[in-house]
Structure 1
Amino acid sequence: MSPTTKAPRAVPPQGGPGPPDAPDAAVPGAASPGTPPDSGSAAPGLRRRRDLAGIVMVCGIASLPMLMPFGLAPGPGNTGLPDLVLIFVVVATFLWAASRRQPIRWPYLIPTLLTIVAGGVASIANEGIGSLTLAKDLFVLLWAVAVANLGRDPALLRLVIRSWVWIGTFYALVMIFGFVIGNDMLSGKQVDGERAMFTFGDANYASNWFICVFFIVRACRYPEDNLKRYGVCGILVVAELLTGSNGGALALGCAIVLGHLFRLFKEGKAHQAIATGALCAVLGGGGVALLSVVDVQPVLDRASAASPILRDSIGRTTGESTSSRSTVFGTTVRMIEEQPHPWGIGPGHTEKAMLVNQETYVREAHNDYIAAVLERGFLGGLALIVLVFAVLLKCARVARRDALTPEYARLVPRPELFGALVAVFLISALFYETLHYRHGWAFFGLIAALDLFGRRDAVRPEGAP
């Protein structure tokens, strides 16, 4: 372990390693990682690099939704503007870390390498199919690496959080305004429906983005004024509803309940949490049982006739959308069973394989868990398990009572809600392939920043080896 310089105020560790069970890795910088954070007396060059890193990261966050701006088609392999901006984000982050003589920390490196290895083996076993997808695996990791390393400076982490909140809220307002005035370029409304997609090109992707911003607002309690914060949350919820994503709405509802339960556990009210969880389970199970014996189709039909938004959201729960998803699920499970070898059919190759097999419904897997095993074999399934474990482990460590130092606790007063947001991704992964969303990995970087640099037990006392 390298020493940490004691500053007049408590500071997070500069590149200190996490516990041995954390699947992270560190790459050494130019010199000792014990340099304290930039202060007002820092050299002008250091301040300029810090300002540059902050500006570039804000631009990176602003670019995250720009996958199909103004209806433009994505590039090769679904690449887009965020991937171009990411190059500048990574360069600025590395220069900033080098100027401070800090090591670059690589959270989630092990699960990502496992994913790439699994994809590489599957690609070789299938004559080079899906090799471009492996580069995308590395690109999404770099979002987490950049955010996590900038997070060693609380001032930069504050900038990331506040920028994400205001940029996300502004985008929500733009989408809502475009929807209200009927401007499809602003709202990103589907050509064949009423669902708003903003600039994502996919309504479910847009839904997940707005939910992500919603939970960052709640976890960080920013804006600090309650009325403003409630207003921001309301705007984000309206934007999410306009996407018409049933899976997103389900994940949002479950995560709100989980966030409340996590808070009760954190406050030592385990008995209340258990009772509340049991009540929610009974109500949820009863609702599902009721829907299975009651014909709700007439109600859905009337709702669909009353509003195009309802038609394209809850109106799809028992119609073609549900039927198509069931068909895709059955097809992908059968494809797993029929694989001639355990290495998978190749990264990102599900839709093409369905087309070759002349399936009745040709789509991507729409399920991260099935896609991991189908496309990358048992190694892909193992990599996904390791990734989920790494994310949940970090969430658990930062969500404990008094786990964070005062500086980071002020930035994220309710870190347990980050765990609820992880649940959004895990639940949504049952319906869409969410674990490769760029903004999702940027959020994983926020969690890693708190875990690596914000925990009290990660700060070494003065003179410690």
Structure 2
Amino acid sequence: MPTRAVTWHPADRLPLDDPYFARGPRHVGYVLAASVVMLPLLVPSGPGNTALADVGILALVVVVVLWLRHEHVPVGVPYLLPMGLLVTAGATSAFQSGAESAVLAVLQDIFCLLWAAAIANAVRRRRWLLDVLLRAWVWSGVFWAGVLCAGRIAGISWMAGLSAKDGGRASLTFDDPNLAANYFLVCIALILATSVIRHRVARGLAVLLVLLAIVFTGSNGAAVGLAVMAGVGVLLRLRRRQGVLAALAAAFLAAAGVALVVPQVNLSAIGQKAADSVQILKDSLGRSDESSGSREALASETLGLYLGGDLVGVGPGRTKAALKGEAAPYVKEAHNDYLATLVERGALGGLGLVALIAVTAVRLGRVATWTQSRWVSHVVPRPEFLLALGCALAAAALFYEVLHFRHIWALLGLVAGIDPAAWGFERRNPGPVR
């Protein structure tokens, strides 16, 4: 029986006294952990949609830049080219629109890019910081899910983030149930992808707790994302264990089953029954007809706005204002990253979004399929769930604008930080131990 050749990652040949394995710098680790733990703290909000979470993000950016300058090492900025296109397109359309809010949106893009770059550089430079990041993110995600669930079950509105405008949908401190649900979706992927929670039973219980938090948010978009992530994750695990042919066969059977079953299911009837059922179902499946109808109307209006406009765009964050100016019957933000980018930033912005998706897809593909060092594999033993999460987020972008979410940029920074192709850049100038 032929034996499979063993491939080694160059990092596995590093001596243990290499700076990459040093435990410090501790102050960077503390700020990194705090910035991740504070991600849900978006209420109350300040000027320009700022929040307490931004204090932690800004602190990390400053601390990482000062640390790397002290060590005289190069600073990489992942996603610079696609974000450069998006920022240039946004600045151009903001100048044309003359709206201060559009300029603020461009500054927020730069802020998020720096946030991702700080995380990427930190986890590339010290393996210990990768461990700190993942532990802080997973355990804080489980903690926040527990807070939301406890508040919802006990009927404590301020604790669960319940408000009159959202009915019984919980949002914790996100001020938006969909945003909260997307955050918890990312947490589930990290629980599954990493070894932070090692025991299978404990890991399963943690996933169930976070799933319950998503149920309490009543987000149908998160439900779609969960289905996509679960399906892609199972196929990728099957490919890893049984090979490509087995994964393709399973994908074909699943697609055939869906094609046969879906036409027989009356989604409207299910939604109507849910609307007349308990509060949890009212807030999720019971809204499906209304939610899909409003999304279709909004997409149609937004697309018409793009087709009737110019190549520059109406300005970042100005879809609602533009629809109001057109006296559209349904005035709201785009709730769709693809359409919002085209309408607000024009053709150049669309090119930038395509480039960002392509770069992210390549990085996720390398993280999930390339040979990783045993040091990274130890903390991220199931990286295929990160690729599955990427597919889920691409689907979620059809329902809301995920590129505005802070935790998404933290995820992009993590992916860039553990990208196997980045190893060569870091080894050219490892820097001294501090």
TM normalised by structure 2 equals 0.91
Answer whether contact 1:405 1:454 (CA < 8 A) is retained. no
> Is residue 404–residue 454 contact of structure 1 (8 Å, CA) maintained in 2?
no
Asked whether 1:61 is paired with 2:32, we answer no
Letter in 1 for 2:320: E
Cα contact 1:328–1:363 (8 A) shared by 2 = yes
Instruction: Count residues with an aligned counterpart.
Output: 415
1:327 positional shift: 1.1
Question: Structure 2 CA distance, aligned partners of 1:259 and 1:10?
Answer: 36
The structure 2 residue matched to 1:137, chosen from 99, 104, 109, is 109
Partner residue in 2 for 1:373: 342
Q: Aligned letter for 2:384?
A: E
Aligned to 1:446: 414
In structure 2, the residue matched to 1:221 is 195
Q: Could you tell me which of 111, 134, 159 is aligned with 1:161?
A: 134
SS of residue matched to 2:418: helix
Report the counterpart of residue 5 of structure 2 in structure 1: none
Confirm or deny that 1:357 pairs with 2:340: no
User: Does the Cα contact within 8 Å between 2:194 and 2:379 map onto a contact in 1?
Assistant: yes
Per the TM alignment, residue 285 of structure 1 is displaced from its structure 2 partner at its CA by 2.8
Alignment of 1:62-81 (within 5 A): 62-68=37-43, 72=44, 74-81=45-52
- Which residue of structure 2 aligns with residue 386 of structure 1? 355
1:214-250 Cα offsets, whole Å, 9 max, x none, are: 1001001321111111111111111111111111111
- Contact 1:404–1:455 (CA under 8 A) maintained in structure 2: no
Q: Is the 8 A contact 1:173 1:235 kept in 2?
A: yes
Residues 396 and 402 in structure 2, CA contact (< 8 A), matched pair in contact too: yes
Paired residue type of 1:173: G
Q: 2:237 matched to which residue of 1?
A: 263
Kept in 2, the 8 Å contact 1:83–1:139? The answer is no
- Indicate yes or no: 2:384 matched with 1:416: yes
Q: Encode CA deviations 1:239-277: one digit per residue, 9 max, x unaligned.
A: 111111111111111111101212233346111111111
1:183 to 156, 161, 174: 156
Question: Partner residue of 2:297?
Answer: 327
2:396 is aligned to: 428
The unaligned stretches of length 5 or more in structure 1 are 12-35, 41-46
- What is the DSSP-based 3-state SS (H/G/I as helix, E as strand, rest coil) of the residue aligned with 1:106? coil
Contact 1:112 1:141 in 2 (8 A): yes
Between the aligned partners of 2:389 and 2:89, the Cα distance in structure 1 is 27
Q: What corresponds to 2:26 in structure 1?
A: 51
Matched, 1:89 2:72: no
Question: Partners in 2 of 1:120 and 1:254 — Cα distance?
Answer: 34
CA distance in 1, matches of 2:256, 2:160: 38
Alpha-carbon distance in 2 for matches of 1:10, 1:385: 42
The sequence identity of aligned pairs, in percent, is 34
For 2:217, give the aligned amino acid: T
Q: RMSD over aligned Cα, in angstroms?
A: 2.2
The answer to whether the Cα contact below 8 Å between 2:275 and 2:287 also exists between their aligned partners in 1 is: no
1:228-377 to 2 correspondences below 5 Å: 228-267=202-241, 269-291=243-265, 294=266, 296-318=267-289, 320-339=290-309, 341-377=310-346
- Hey, what does 1:20 align to over in structure 2? none
Corresponding residue for residue 8 of structure 1: 15
- Bigger share in helix: 2
- Indicate the residue corresponding to 1:125 in structure 2: 96
1:298 and 1:268 map into 2 onto residues whose CA distance is 40
CA offsets, 1:34-54, max 9 Å, x none?
xx33637xxxxxx4xx11111
Instruction: Report the Cα offset of residue 325 of structure 1.
Output: 1.2
TM-score by length of 1: 0.85
Shift of 1:458: 7.8
Provide closer, same or farther for how the CA distance between residues 456 and 137 of structure 1 changes in structure 2, counting only shifts above 3 A.
closer
